[in-house]
Structure 1
Amino acid sequence: MPYKIDDVLPPELLTEVDPGTNLLVSGPAMSGKRQLLLQLLARGTSEGEGSVVVTSRNPAEDVTQSYRDVLDGDFGYFRIIDCVSSRSGAEVDGARVHEVSSPGDLTGIGIEFSEIARDAEAADIERLRVGFDSLSPLLMYVDLQRLFRFLHVFTSQIQSRDWLGLFAIDPDSHDQQEVNTISQLFDGMIEIRLGDDGREARVRGVTDAPTDWVALDE
């Protein structure tokens, strides 16, 4: 059964994606990609799906509040891997938090994600949406080759479990070669840009052809 993302993106862009899909959500600073990512995660709550957020920019408290702001209902199964603060094993406003020492601790992120995967299985959560906000800080800590290897394993886990992966990146923070290399690991991309009349988005890779740019702020 596809993962529904209608009511988040304009229908002419995308309404659903297949299980096991990994999408790159690409947009510059202040483009609202973090909010869009959280909205895409929250869309699954009404379907009984769980959500995981790996945060490399904002502490768990901020993520939890932002996630609650876009929810229409209860949390459901919600876990956070926090790479920027120290509160391992704690709960923040109903969200279970797993702490990792820094955005550069890729091994730690992988270990915590594997633990969450086991926990979700024990809780009979078969469908999970995984959001990664953001990949850009990781490249300040590790080189591109190491990040590529890590993401290959991480996205493969999502694919093999028929989950949905959503990974934010700021293309303006990297050279085009880095973005192109990372993009190879993903099934498609949601691109956001800031136009004269507001935000616009298009989708590539998971549609028959790249979509046109469509206004997000109507």
Structure 2
Amino acid sequence: MFPPELVSEIEPGTNLLVSGPAMSGKRELLLQLLARGAPDDEGAIVVTSRNPGADVAEEFSSMIDDQDTFFRVIDCLGSESEFDFVHSVSSPGDLTGIGIEFSELAREANEREVDRIRIGFDSLSPLLMYVDLQRLFRFLHVFTSQIQSRDWLGLFAIDPDAHDEQVVNTISQLFDGMIEVRVADEGGREARIRGITSSPTEWVPLD
């Protein structure tokens, strides 16, 4: 999914912050990176705090061409869903509920012998409207540690324009690196990676 100019491989157990302004295509990029694991029998779990779980599931399904993949959604909007793979919590501020659901899905994946899973969190920004930074930091520390210990891959979206720079800097301490997304002056999306390469990559077109 990534152009080779950015990165050829990401180590298991890596957590990355996907940072970009509104309408920059962060969610699409995040879902594409999750879907990339499907041909290798990697599962995917999406935590959504912006869009209903059913909508996220439909978008993800269109990217994997009906492959039989372990896929689950944690819907933080309390949305009703007819799909049994969509698990709801009451609000983006229900960090305890999100953690419980994630632990249950990790247990289910283990029972189904799904060894590798890609986790997408879209997005951290709404959570900061419900909980303070210190509480979110503690929650993310546990969440990212679970991903690291299982050798999974974590991708967490955030809108830097919605928060003070200090907030983003504090949260970014929990992550191994960052994927920055922007809309180019001439149109189209560009991305670069910082933290998991020896130096930041150049901005590379995604479209």
TM-score (norm 1): 0.91
**Partner Cα separation in structure 1 for residue 23 and residue 63 of structure 2:** 17
**Pair 1:69-2:62 in alignment:** yes
Residue in 1 that maps onto 2:199: 209
Please, which runs of 5 or more residues in structure 2 have no aligned partner?
none
Aligned to 2:31, the other structure's residue is in SS state helix
Instruction: Say which of 143, 158, 168 aligns to 2:132.
Output: 143
The structure 2 residue matched to 1:84, chosen from 60, 77, 80, is 77
Instruction: Give the Cα separation in 2 of the matches to 1:12 and 1:108.
Output: 39
Q: Report matched runs for 1:9-20 at 5 Å.
A: 9-20=2-13
| Partner of residue 28 from structure 1, selected from 21, 31, 34 | 21
SS in 1 for 2:61: helix
Name the structure 2 match of 1:5: none
Residues 111-150 of structure 1 correspond to what in structure 2 (within 5 A)?
111-150=100-139
Aligned to 2:85, the other structure's residue is in SS state strand
Deviations 1:44-70 (Å, cap 9, x if unpaired)? 010001100000000011101111222
Aligned-residue sequence identity (percent) comes to 71
What SS does structure 2 have at the residue aligned with 1:51?
A: strand
8 Å contact from structure 2 (residues 191, 203) kept in 1: yes
Whole-Å separation in 1 of the counterparts to 2:104 and 2:7: 31
More contact order relative to length (CA 8 Å, sep ≥ 6) = 2
Instruction: Tell me which residue corresponds to 2:45.
Output: 52
Question: How far apart are the structure 1 equivalents of 2:82 and 2:116?
Answer: 22
Q: TM-score, normalised by structure 2?
A: 0.96
Unaligned runs of 5+ in 1: 1-7
What RMSD over aligned residues (CA atoms) do the two structures have, in Å?
1.2
Write the distance in 1 (CA, Å) between the matches of 2:178 and 2:91. 26
Question: CA 1:147–1:118 in 2, change beyond 3 Å: closer, same or farther?
Answer: same
Match of 2:87, SS state, is strand
Query: For 1:105 and 1:10, how far apart are their aligned partners in 2?
Result: 36
3-state DSSP of counterpart to 1:132: strand
Q: Name the counterpart of 1:162.
A: 151
C-alpha change, 1:177 and 1:13, in structure 2 (3 Å) is same
- The whole-number CA distance in structure 2 between the counterparts of 1:133 and 1:153 is 17
Over 3 Å off, 4+ runs: none
Count of matched residue pairs: 206
